[in-house]
Amino acid sequence: MNKIEIKHITVNYADKGSLFTALEDVTFSVGAGEFVSIIGSSGCGKSTLLSILEGINTPSKGTILIDGKPIEGTGTDRGVVFQQYSLFPWMSARNNVAFGIKQAKKGISRAERMKISDEFLDKVGLKSFKNKYPSQLSGGMQQRVAIARALAMDTEILLMDEPFGAIDAKNRTVLQELLLKLWEGDGVQDKKTVVFVTHDIDEAILLSDRIVMMSASPGKVYKEITVPFKRPRNRAELVQTREYGLFRNELISLFYGDIINKIGGEEVVL
Amino acid sequence: MKYKDRKFTRILNITNILYILLWLVQLMPDNTVEDQGKFTVYTVVFMSALEAVFIIISLFGYKKQLYNTAKSIISTVFTALLLWILATAKFNILNESMFPSPELVLQQLAEDHSRLINDALSSLQTLAKGYLTAVVSGIILGSLAGMSKKLCDSIAYITSFLKLIPPIVYIPYAIACLPYYSMVSTFVIFVASFWPVFSCTFSGVSNVDKQYIDSANVLNVNVISRIWNVILPASLSEIFIGCNQGLAYSFILLTSAEMIGGSSGIGYYIKYYSDFGDFKRIIVGILVIGVIISILTFLINKLEKYLLRWKAK
Ligand SMILES: Nc1ncnc2c1ncn2[C@@H]1O[C@H](COP(=O)(O)OP(=O)(O)OP(=O)(O)O)[C@@H](O)[C@H]1O
Ligand SMILES: [Mg+2]
């Protein structure tokens, strides 16, 4: 069954009297427990689409169903990592995470919240920074706290907008593995459903079951591609296989092909 | 080596030098018509008490910040005292009857101390009632107004008009309407500090960064927690601007109200003795007000620093 169904979503932004169409008739669905990545050039409406899924923005046309029911605003079933990491600067790293946990799991005791918070900060490698305020952390560290918050909330759905964009290669790999581990769960619970925006094609291939490629002006779904590789995927081995290279090339030519089509074959500087 | 250096500067520094200078000045003969007292007991006690505080802090205060604050405050007081003594008792440059020497003023202060404490307490009570009511109601109403989108524009116009009216003009009106004069002072202080608190809270709350509101939304924060954990902290620095402004207005209004029609308080003390041309007591009153204002401002700044400790330096 489909966990999320996105049906004919159109989003217009008012811009000095005229309308700007950010998304036009976007339709696709995400299965329960599926990991879907969205890739597309900058400004094609990925964040806009996510803001609709998050419930903080309403579409001009179309509906979104979660578990078959149309969404009404935000919900505790969805954990969110924004593109602009958005911690509360007046709460320490630890309290930011604990605040998220408190919101997601009503009735949880303070001690329990703090324990889970510490656990997740440890997992994202920020154990010794737990009492720092966001202003005392680097951009990448703040983003890791935001990721820890979303993961610690343990929601059925995760909506992540370029979560690893500002993070160095080493930590990025650690966080990717962590995300996959939490997504798969402990076998008792159901898998989480993840919608993951990224610019990084390798990241999309390594992590996802399916990739939704978007094209710009206005934002539309250009292609949906299923990733053919078995899990668990061994990063080091996989990237050296011929299949991986071919698949990656195919994605890249699709991606650039779309841009060249759009501009009409002129030279593109990226 | 470093430690020794520090010890050395903790002995030979501006405050201690000023203290010695003050002693030397005491030894100079007086040059006044009026008797300034045989020996300047009060001045010596006062400056030595300050010096003692300073020495204790230099010896035991390992927090550098505390030491520096004490050094700058006490050396400023010593400098002022030094100039004051020289200008009055020693060289008699100023008009003797209008500018009494520190010795006479301190003597007066000691003589009137129980009265002054009562007056100061009465002023503080009036201030607390008016100011705290204004802060609490200003923050509550300002937040509510800031959160309701429809009201925004009209409230902005009304407040920008009302806050321009100098609250002192309400005094005659309040005298006519309110049964006790103490209520008049409280009321006027309330009006004076309400508008800055209200309008700063209003502007802070209505301009909370959308990013925080979005975060609160995706976390499904309920109304009360949203106000307490998100909106108020996000507008706290603006709220403090309003509270500081309100406090400054309160002092002006408090003393004015007491001078116009009060029967207690430091403003009344000054007004009462100025009718007799008693300049010693006028200066005592001014000094007491100055000290009270400084202490309150210091405390509110401490509170602000603490509550906004999360801000990037
Ligand atoms: N609040 C807004 N008002 C008006 N236009 C907007 C607004 N937010 C986004 N847009 C426009 O909508 C388009 C899509 O923006 P969006 O942020 O969704 O892009 P994106 O795919 O996330 O880009 P990036 O990869 O750079 O993050 C852009 O052209 C942008 O200018
Ligand atoms: Mg974006």
Whole-angstrom distance, CA of residue B187 vs CA of residue B270? 21
Percent of chain A with pLDDT over 70: 94
Q: Does A232 touch chain B (CB under 8 A)?
A: no
Q: Tell me if chain A has a CB within 8 Å of the CB of B234.
A: yes
Which ligand is the nearest neighbour of the Cα of A214? 1
Question: Which of B212, B218, B230 has its CB closest to that of A74?
Answer: B218
pTM: 0.84
Q: What is the mean pLDDT of chain A?
A: 90
Which ligand 1 atom is at minimum distance from the Cα of A217? 29
Mutate to test the interface with B, among A51, A85, A88 (most CBs of B within 10 A): A88
Q: In this predicted structure, which of B34-43, B144-153, B223-232, B260-269 has the lowest mean pLDDT? A: B34-43
Interatomic CA distance for residues B167 and B191, integer angstroms: 6
CA distance B205 to chain A (A): 15
Q: What is the pLDDT of residues A102-148, one digit of tens each?
A: 999 888 999 999 999 999 999 999 999 999 999 999 999 999 999 99
Nearest by CB to A135, from B217, B229, B312: name it. Answer: B312
Q: Please, which residues bridge with residue A165 across strands?
A: none
Greater confidence, B95 or A264? Answer: B95
Mutate to test the pocket of ligand 1, among A12, A13, A196, A258 (most ligand atoms within 8 A of CB): A13
Q: What residues of chain B, 194 to 223, have a C-beta less than 8 Å from chain A? A: 211-212, 214-215, 217-221
Q: Where are the alpha helices (DSSP H) in A72-109?
A: 93-104
> pLDDT-based confidence at A270, cuts 50/70/90?
very low
Per-residue model confidence (pLDDT) at position B8: 67
Question: In testing the pocket of ligand 1, which one of A9, A18, A20, A57 has its CB within 8 Å of the most ligand atoms?
Answer: A20
* Band of residue A190 on the pLDDT scale cut at 50, 70, 90: confident
Question: What percentage of chain A exceeds 90 in pLDDT?
Answer: 71
Q: Assign residue B25 a region: left if phi > 0, alpha if psi is -120 to 50, beta otherwise?
A: alpha
Place of tokens 């698949």: A247
What is the rounded average pLDDT for all residues in chain B?
Answer: 88
User: Would you tell me which residues 45-74 of chain A have a C-beta closer than 8 angstroms to some C-beta of chain B?
Assistant: 54-56, 73-74
Name the strand (E) or helix (H) holding B260: helix B232-261
pLDDT band at A38 (very low <50, low <70, confident <90, very high): very high
Q: Is residue A175 part of a domain?
A: yes
* B310 to chain A, closest Cα gap in Å: 5
Q: Whose C-alpha lies nearest to ligand 1, atom 3?
A: A13
| Domain residue limits at A248 | 2-77+156-269
> Is B220's CB within 8 Å of A135's CB?
no
Q: Is A68 left (phi over 0), alpha (psi -120 to 50) or beta?
A: left
Classify B262 as helix, strand or coil: coil
Please state, in angstroms and rounded to a whole number, the distance separating the CA atoms of residues A173 and B256. 68
CB < 8 Å to B236, chain A: 90
Q: What is the pLDDT of residues A158-177, one digit of tens each?
A: 999 999 988 898 889 999 99
Please answer yes or no on whether B214 and A99 come within 8 Å at the CB atom. no
Q: Are B215 and A88 an interchain contact pair (Cβ–Cβ within 8 Å)?
A: yes
**CATH number, domain containing residue A162:** 3.40.50.300
Task: Give me the mean pLDDT over the B233-251 stretch.
Answer: 94
A184 burial via Cβ count (<10 Å: 0-12, 13-18, 19+)? middle
* A89 chain-B contacts, CB cut-off 8 A: 310-311
* Ligand number, closest to the Cα atom of A40: 1
Hey, is the C-beta of A43 within 8 angstroms of any chain B C-beta? no
Closest CB from A73, A78, A84 relative to B211? A84
Find, in chain A, the residue whose alpha carbon is nearest to that of B309: A90
Average pLDDT over residues B290-297: 92
What are the helix (H) ranges across A62-138?
93-104, 110-123
Among candidates B133, B131, B138, B132, which has minimal Cα distance to B199? B138
Total domain count, chain A? 1
Whether residue A20 is contained in a domain is answered as yes
Closest ligand to A39 CA? 1
Mean pLDDT of B302-313: 91
pLDDT tens-digit readout, A54-63? 999 999 999 9
- Asked whether the beta carbons of residue B310 and residue A100 sit closer than 8 angstroms, the reply is no
Q: Is residue B174 very low, low, confident or very high in pLDDT (cuts 50, 70, 90)?
A: confident
Q: Is A264 helix (H, G, I), strand (E, B) or coil?
A: coil
Amino acid symbol at A95: N
Nearest CA to ligand 1 atom 2: A13
**Which residue is closest in CA terms to ligand 1's atom 16?**
A45
Task: Say whether pLDDT at A264 is over 80.
Answer: no
Work out the minimum CA distance from A98 to partner chain B, whole angstroms.
12
CA–CA gap between residue B166 and residue B191 (Å, rounded):
10
The answer to whether the CB of B84 falls within 8 A of the CB of B102 is: yes
Name the band, by pLDDT with cuts 50, 70 and 90, for residue B33: low
User: For residue A143, is it within any domain?
Assistant: no
Give A82 Cα–ligand 1 centroid separation in angstroms.
13
In CATH, what number does B113-312 get?
1.10.3720.10
ipTM of this predicted complex? Answer: 0.88
Which ligand sits closest to the CA of A53?
A: 1
Domain boundaries along the sequence of chain B:
2-110, 113-312
